[in-house]
Amino acid sequence: MIAPNMATMLGFIFTNANLPSNVLQKILEIENEKTFNSITVDSDTSTSDTVLLSATRTANHVPINKYSDKRLKDFKRNVSSLMLELAQLIVIDGEGASKFITIKLEGASSTKSAKKIAFSVANSPLVKTAVAGEDPNWGRIAMGIGKSGEIVDQKKLKIKIGNFVVAENGKVSENYDEKKLKEYMEWDSIEIEINLKLGNDAFKCYTCDFTHDYIDINADYRN
């Protein structure tokens, strides 16, 4: 039951930095889009999502009062990295998850479109069960892209699984070697890269596979 927007989770991040709440809030909102709001277990959301970023302001430095202040560069990067780690741990802990999946969507005409397509693939039960079955079923990935309802040119489409280019310019890649790719599918962490070649916008999201344990946990929880 995890597709934060925000969803079933309480996240608390503390720092001793001397930063006012408006700066913290802006950092949190921006980084949240790329971390907690970029994960999904099964597309289903919940009611009790919270991520707090709180500063004790005990660090010995002059307060920094602007989000754009260059001295915040490292701080932002570290908060982002911590939030991404926490968010990914939620996915790994998803009901019955046996594999971690990264969907990298590139070449979109807008970030909104990139996000919609990435989540359409990530939430597809057929993509998730194919990954559980360790099958490089790229037809299901193409289906997940198509059913998003976004405009896509299949003649431009490129699909990569791990380091293996599967389809390019709408055709199966000349170097496609299903046997090698099947070995890659046995890994615990699978990366699916999709390039629409329609623009410069991108979105990355994180999900997990769909296994028998997902059904056990969510169907038989009262027995």
Task: Give contact residues for its own copies (rule: CB under 8 A).
Answer: 1, 3, 5, 42-47, 123-126, 129-130, 132-133, 135, 140, 143-144, 146-147, 210-212, 214-215, 218-223
CA dihedral 181, 184, 189, 193 (to 10 degrees): -30
Q: Which is nearer to its own copies, 74 or 220 (CB)?
A: 220
Smallest separation, CB 71 to its own copies (Å): 38
Smallest separation, CB 179 to its own copies (Å): 13
* Residue tagged active-site, from 8, 45, 111, 129: 8
Smallest separation, CB 212 to its own copies (Å): 5
What is the separation of C-alpha 105 from the centre of its chain, rounded to a whole number of angstroms? 10
Q: Which is nearer to its own copies, 89 or 215 (CB)?
A: 215
Residue 189 to residues 25, 44, 101, 107, 117: CA-CA distances in angstroms? 32, 22, 6, 23, 20
Q: Is 8 a catalytic residue?
A: yes
Q: Which is nearer to its own copies, 44 or 177 (CB)?
A: 44
Residues noted as catalytic: 8
